[in-house]
Amino acid sequence: MDIREIAKRARVSTATVSRVVNRVPTVNPQMAKRVWNVIEELGYYPNTQARALVSGRSRIFGLIISDITNPFFPEIVQVFEAIAVQHRYEILLSSTSHDPKRMESSVRRMLERRVEGVAVLTFGMEEPLLEHLHVREVPIVFVDVGPQRPWVSNIRIDYLHGIRQAVQHLAALRHERIAFISGPLKLKSALARQQAFVRSMREIGMECDSALMVEGDHTMEGGMAACAKLLSLSHRPTAMMCSNDMTAIGVMRKSHETHIAIPHNLSVVGFDDIRLAQFMIPPLTTIQMSQAELARIAFDALMADVERETPAPNGTEYVLKTNLVLRQSTGMNSNATKRAK
């Protein structure tokens, strides 16, 4: 059942049917009604591929993330999809697990389906593979790591804003030995978080003991290992800041195993504010980087580029703020309290 069938039954031409379906205002309302009736009756849906072929617009965006089973991403996917549907777009999802092979095949799939734009929310370092997209002038939006070029937008995360709040919060609670468990430092986003931490500490004249800076891998297991390492120190930290929530969850778990009470004996701060954070025991104090907002900014960036006819020469920059969310995994440094007595 195609547009011709509808045209025949409504005794109009296919052009008119097309105009009715696309709500072109010049068509006579009576005739439109007649056409709509036939469409309803037969349950006709226009064929998107034919439409895309002739219009040159697929109405598909690509969404590349690193791993859907990482609790950080599902909400992004959900919000991105919801907004896309509102704008009558479809999304092509791809988890790459930071694997260059899969990354390449994703890009290829997206090119074959003629996506109109790609959001790369991997926090990674895979830009080289995106060359193919770039030569075809497909709009791209990156987080943190994109180059400055036409058709490339960037969402810069203001890590410092939230991390500074967290550091000052811990300082206010009389913590003097604050550890930082980073992510894999080859990831720019992980490096940026660490640097924001160091800077926040220096700002208020606190030292960053290098023994208290350990590299994790953004997994719970990595968090447990890092926590164990820090607890084995003769001069233990009283607070640990983590580069993401999964790491913090690992820290909480290891602490529990070692009978260290949070927040009484150890304060923990996470980063991301994944939904799980509020469900921990105790609920995790963390720095929020709104996944919903990130998804929305990414979508809007692509939409803006699609509607632009000439690109901004250096792409566009967007900023996402981060903010501390106080819950119950941080508390007064108990040693300091004693001394104060």
Partner DNA sequence: AAGGCCTTGGTAATCGTTTACCACGTCCCG
Partner DNA sequence: CGGGACGTGGTAAACGATTACCAAGGCCTT
Determine the interface stretch with DNA among 4-12, 92-100, 166-174, 292-300 (rule: CB under 7 A).
Answer: 4-12
| Residue 264, contacted partner among a second copy, DNA, none, CB below 5-8 A by kind | none
Residues 222-251 that bind DNA (CB under 7 A): none
Please report whether residue 16 would count as binding DNA according to CB under 7 A: yes
Question: Which of 71, 124 has the CB closer to a second copy?
Answer: 71
Question: Which of 58, 96 has the CB closer to DNA?
Answer: 58
Residue with tokens 């607890």: 231
CB 197 within 8 A of CB 241: yes
DSSP letter at 123? -
Please report whether residue 136 would count as binding DNA according to CB under 7 A: no
Residue whose C-alpha is closest to residue 63's, from 75, 51, 54, 53: 75
Cα–Cα distance for residue pair 21/134, rounded to 1 Å: 34
Number of residues that bind DNA (CB under 7 A): 27
Binding track, positions 102-131, relative to DNA; x by CB under 7 A: ------------------------------
| Residue 93, contacted partner among DNA, a second copy, none, CB below 5-8 A by kind | a second copy
Residues 25-84 that bind DNA (CB under 7 A): 26-28, 31, 44-47, 50-51, 53-56
Smallest distance from DNA to CB 111, Å: 11
Give the helix, strand, coil percentages of the chain, each rounded to 5: 45, 15, 35
Distance, C-alpha 270 to centroid of its chain = 16
**Strands 239-242 and 267-272, bridge-based pairing:** parallel
How many alpha carbons fall within 13 Å on the CB side of residue 91? Answer: 25
> Around Cβ 124, how many Cβ atoms within 10 Å?
22
**Strands 323-325 and 285-288, bridge-based pairing:** antiparallel
- Binding residues for a second copy (CB under 8 A): 43, 45-50, 52-53, 58, 67-69, 71, 73-75, 77-78, 81, 85, 90-95, 105, 108-109, 111-114, 132, 135, 220, 249, 253, 256-257, 275-276, 279, 281
Residue 269 backbone phi and psi in degrees, to 5:
-125, 135
Residues 6+ away with beta carbon under 8 Å from 333 = 173, 174, 175, 176, 238, 239, 267
Smallest distance from DNA to CB 131, Å: 20
Question: Which of 37, 337 has the CB closer to DNA?
Answer: 37
| Residue 78, contacted partner among a second copy, DNA, none, CB below 5-8 A by kind | a second copy
Binding site for DNA (CB under 7 A): 2-4, 11-16, 18-19, 21-22, 26-28, 31, 44-47, 50-51, 53-56
